[in-house]
Structure 1
Amino acid sequence: MKTSILDLLTFAPLVLAFPHGGPHGHPDTLTVSTTSGHVHGKVDPALPNVHQYLGIPYAVPPVGDLRWTAPQLLDQPNAQINATEHPVSCMQYLSNQHNSLYTQEVLEWNLQGLNRTGAISEDCLTVSVWAPSAATSGKGVQRAKPAKDSEGLPVLIFIYGGGFSTGGEDVPGQIPAQWVNRTPDHIVVSFNYRVNIFASPNAAGLGKEQNFGLLDQRAAVEWCQKNIAGFGGDPARMVLWGQSAGAFSVDFYNYAYPTDPIVTGLIMDSGTALTGGYVDPMHSNFTFVADHVGCSGLASKPTQQLACMRNVSATTIENFYATYQESGAAPGISFSPTVDGIVVFSNYTERAFAGLQAKIPAIVGTNAQDGVAFVPYLPTGPTNQTAVLQVLLSEFFCPATETVRLRQQTDRLTYRYLYAGNFSNVSPKPWMGAYHSSELAMIMGTHPDFRGPSTALEYATSHAFQDAYVAFAGDPVDGLAGQDWAPYRVGSGSVREFGGGVAAQDTSVAVDEGYCNGAVPIAVLPTQ
């Protein structure tokens, strides 16, 4: 068993909990009423333009008998929620036993910026909202131009990456507070979703419904549709944006909800559905874990096996999984989204030509050195550049190219970017370049936070990237015209490159496209 690299809808506008002030008559601009309860946020004095609402529960905790079931949106409007600290993440573990770029060079992409697993819990389904202070206080601020008669701000709903094994709202490099503080004309939302065995167990006792992490993502979008107006957002202008596994998720979502996407645009940073879904028809991985945590001998009794596993503590399950993976034993075990015919499908080309993808605009992008992080780590950089190119093409660039082609052939408006920045405080070794996830420092605005000040070009690149995403969120059809960013057609020269010597320019990726045969690389690659 090979471990893969991947490793409901009514809108009810909500108002402030105390529309005429706080409980003592004073303005209470940090309390918002939601279906989850009265949410009390915070302002960081260093970032006065943004209200932060952190760790709002959006679904019933998936524990006990609710483990491995679809999420249930919370309905507890009278609850009091103190949303002032980053929440714990879902059950996972971070391996620091085997050297990698993310444990040796750039810890800011790990939970809490640690070189080990951060705070985790099975009770983890929360959402965080970063909104301009004026959006809920009523103070004047220049906002993005509303669509039609709307008064709300555009919303970017972010899905984090992590190979469907790690990730959370408390990853320092991808916290958008500085972005919203800089340009208070949009709202950013991030949320936790289940990962690894708790997300996609592929257990025989469950039947077809297996991809609970992806269902969590849909639930979070539905929560936003119901509640974002209370934070000053426009539920009719929400864009779903993801990076890496989050980008795969955005495209899975695109095909899973073709007639009811809720969102009006899609953004995929380094990943699409064409990278593939995991298949384990014998349910062997789940059974393997069950056999080692006190539920052995039940493979032929899948219902009993599932019931037994629901009674095993989440910590016991995660600890076994971590210990086994760290041992390097064979076969490896993996829990990633599995083909179920519900939210993950086996043939996306067929589905595209059948019209079964949402007819909404998209941005599809890759990083110039997306493959660097997925070859053996050496402090001096990879020695096999052909292997780096192979990973870039097979996992990111060729799937992106074919995704764009399918969208083009089925009349789906698509923009494409290439991130090429190589800034020393984000990429501390020159060979790292625009490595996988480094673009997030530009978009989130976290680039000056970790290894010294940013350059003028770095700030300009960040601002160009940020402004493009906000323009797209405000109007996915025409918004990028104001950025002089043209829709992309395979083979054209209209890819928007960020950070390649200038903040933003158009360039051609035709040479790299020539290395692709559909969604996979050609058989023979040039020697690097």
Structure 2
Amino acid sequence: MKRLLALPLALLLVAGCNEDPPPQAEPPGPVVHTDTGDVRGIVHPDRRVFNGVPYAAPPVGDLRWAPPEPAKPWTGERAATKPGSACPQNKNAIANLASSNEDCLFLNVTTPKSASPEQRKPVMVWIHGDGAIGAGDQFDPARLAVTGDVVVITFNFRLGVFGGFGFPGLEHSGTIGLQDQRAVLRWVQRNAAAFGGDPANVTLFGVSYGATATSAHLMSEQSRGLFHRVIMQSGFTLMDMPAGATYPGLPALPWYGWTTTKDAETQGQVVAKQLGCKDLACLRKVPAPKLLAVPQVMNIFQPYALGNDQLPPDPDKALAAGNFTEVPVLSGTTRDEHTTFVAFFRELAGSPVTAAGYPELLRTAFGDQAAKVAAEYPLKDYPTPARAWAAVITDRMWARSQLRQNQLLSAKNPLWFYEFADRDAPLDIPFPKGYDPGAWHAGDVSYLFPDSKSTAAMRPDQVALSDTMIRYWANFAHRGDPNGTGVPEWKRFSGPGSVQSLAPGKIAPVDYEQEHRLAFWRSLEPK
């Protein structure tokens, strides 16, 4: 994850004086009038930045687990020079970020210097991943905004138990985080023009949990008209999970990333019992740190609930029936999605994948078809058992569901399909020593939000790939098509052979179906 660092530069010219010069005031930053008050940001040579802008009221007290309320207007100028508090979350091995502050519904705006109410730019609204950790300011949009000539908005939304909680009698159980995101999109419609953004050209994009949230807005009638293009990076809209595929001991799940309202409310009752509460009034008085300490919610994302006034009961049926917003789509995965999950939920968790244990993993996940899977993915073909298991689940869970999702979306929407394939991408999360993650889940994010640290870790050909990806994403935001001057041609998706592989020095179509052995996986499906 990336942090945006604003470092003021003071140039002091002193002549003929032995005393320390008096402190010099920084030049005033730009002021923009929003519908709740004026905000003063930071001016850089190539961009303007406004951090910590409230987009909704603090969701505290009776507003915990309530849909976002309008932010309270203020008088005078509000400093927009620092990000607002991250939403409540526990620190973990991936992110050194912890918060118990529920007053967290803030957004950040980065605009190219030329953006103005008269010269409006496309707006790109980023939903970060994970669902239990993270914050908008962890991503540096400077190069995307400046090189892409777009306005970029990052933001915080309620996470984990605060965003996906369900309970009997709670209206909108399991959809609160989704409604926070929609509140940002509505804020954009009201305020983007003042920052030099075009509210009639909004691209909603996200990674992992954020990409699945983006697909939720595609399917939700309440979000229609609030965005005009979508980009989904490694989402799991139609992904089921074989037993033990992600977490040891976890049974097979029909959805990875979704739940039902009933199941969300049942889980909420378990949490309430742990806290000694019988009703919502009691739960709303539980201090945030105590709520975060409940084992059922610690660092675990809460899936969004299906089958309510926000989301359909079955995403697969909704996409198959064409019940989604008609907008251009850019969607894809990384080449080795599941290596990240094997690293953190097995290798680092004390349950490493071994040669002796590999057959049992296959039996647990695939039952009487395990022998066929073992023959298709023999250990001898992989450097380690961990990589063999990661290959199995990458193909079965990720590639299989991504292809079906994009096939269904492309029946109605123009769609461009990619695969990020840099197997030597810089690492910004702590993988086990000696572990080779390949083109890992979310490894493409630093190519779109590069900061000085990630750029310094890149080879020249990787920097060139980052520049090309930024141009693809920005072209898509401008015109609904990633193609443009100075980038390799990217054909619109028309089948598994028209997937664009994004690798250093090798940007070209790849046969996604063959690469991920999807004909084999289809052969195992019930007839």
Shorter-chain TM-score: what band?
0.7 to 0.9
Q: Is the 8 A contact 2:174 2:303 kept in 1?
A: no
> Which residue in 1 is equivalent to 2:441?
436
Matches of 2:201 and 2:392, distance apart in 1: 37
Q: Which residue of 2 aligns with 1:480?
A: 483
Matches within 5 A, 1:21-420: 30-43=30-43, 48-74=45-71, 76=73, 78=75, 80-96=77-93, 102=94, 110=95, 114=96, 117-136=97-116, 151-162=119-130, 164-171=131-138, 174-181=139-146, 183=147, 185-257=149-221, 260-275=224-239, 276=255, 277-279=258-260, 281=262, 283-295=265-277, 298=278, 305-321=279-295, 325=298, 335-375=302-342, 376-377=346-347, 383-409=385-411, 411-420=412-421
Provide the C-alpha distance between the structure 1 equivalents of 2:519 and 2:89, rounded to a whole number of angstroms: 34
Whether the 8 Å CA contact 1:404–1:490 is kept in 2: the answer is: no
8 Å Cα contact 2:86-2:101 kept in structure 1: yes
Query: Out of 492, 504, 508, which is 1:505 matched to?
Result: 508
* Corresponding residue number in structure 2 for 1:141: none
SS in 1 for 2:331: strand
Of 462, 465, 487, 1:461 maps to 465
Q: In 1, are the aligned partners of 2:104 and 2:156 still within 8 Å (CA)?
A: yes
For 1:16, the equivalent position in structure 2 comes to: none
Which position in structure 2 is the counterpart of 1:144?
none
SS class of match (1:54): strand
**Alpha carbons 2:220, 2:310 under 8 Å: kept:** yes
Q: Are the counterparts in 2 of residues 33 and 77 from structure 1 also a CA contact under 8 Å?
A: no
Compute the TM-score of the two structures, normalised by the length of structure 2: 0.77
- Against the structure 1 CA distance between its residues 358 and 424, is the aligned structure 2 distance closer, same or farther, given a 3 Å change threshold? closer
Partners of 1:125 and 1:268 in 2: CA distance:
23
Residue 202 of structure 1 deviates from its aligned partner by 1.3
Deviation at 1:219, TM superposition (A): 0.6
Q: Secondary structure at the match of 1:458?
A: helix
CA distance in structure 2 between the aligned counterparts of 1:118 and 1:440, rounded to whole angstroms: 21
Distance of 2:456 and 2:164 partners within structure 1: 40
**1:284 CA displacement:** 2.9
Q: Deviations over 1:429-471 (max 9, x none)?
A: 671221111101111123x515944211011100100000000
Q: CA RMSD in A?
A: 2.9
Q: 1:210-247 deviations in whole A, cap 9, x for unaligned?
A: 31000101110110111111111111111000000000
- Counterpart CA distance in 2 for 1:259 and 1:191 is 17
- Residue 79 to residue 495, structure 1, CA distance change in 2 (3 Å): farther
Q: Distance in 2 between matches of 1:60 and 1:232?
A: 24
Q: TM-score normalised to the size of structure 1?
A: 0.77
* 1:195–1:523 distance in 2 versus 1, CA, 3 Å: farther
Q: How far has the Cα of 1:126 moved from its partner?
A: 0.7
What secondary structure, in the 3-state scheme, does the structure 1 residue paired with 2:134 have? coil
Give the aligned length: 441
> Deviations along 1:333-370, whole A, 9 cap, x unmatched?
86321223333333223323443200001011100111
Amino acid in structure 1 at the alignment position of 2:125: I
Structure 2: which 5+ residue stretches go unaligned?
A: 1-25, 240-254, 354-382
Structure 2 SS opposite 1:320: coil
- Report the structure number with the largest CA radius of gyration: 2
Q: Secondary structure at the match of 2:347?
A: coil
Of residues 490, 515, 518 in structure 1, which corresponds to 2:518?
515
Structure 1 residues 70 and 521, CA, compared in 2 at 3 Å: closer, same or farther? Answer: farther
Deviation at 1:385, TM superposition (A): 2.9
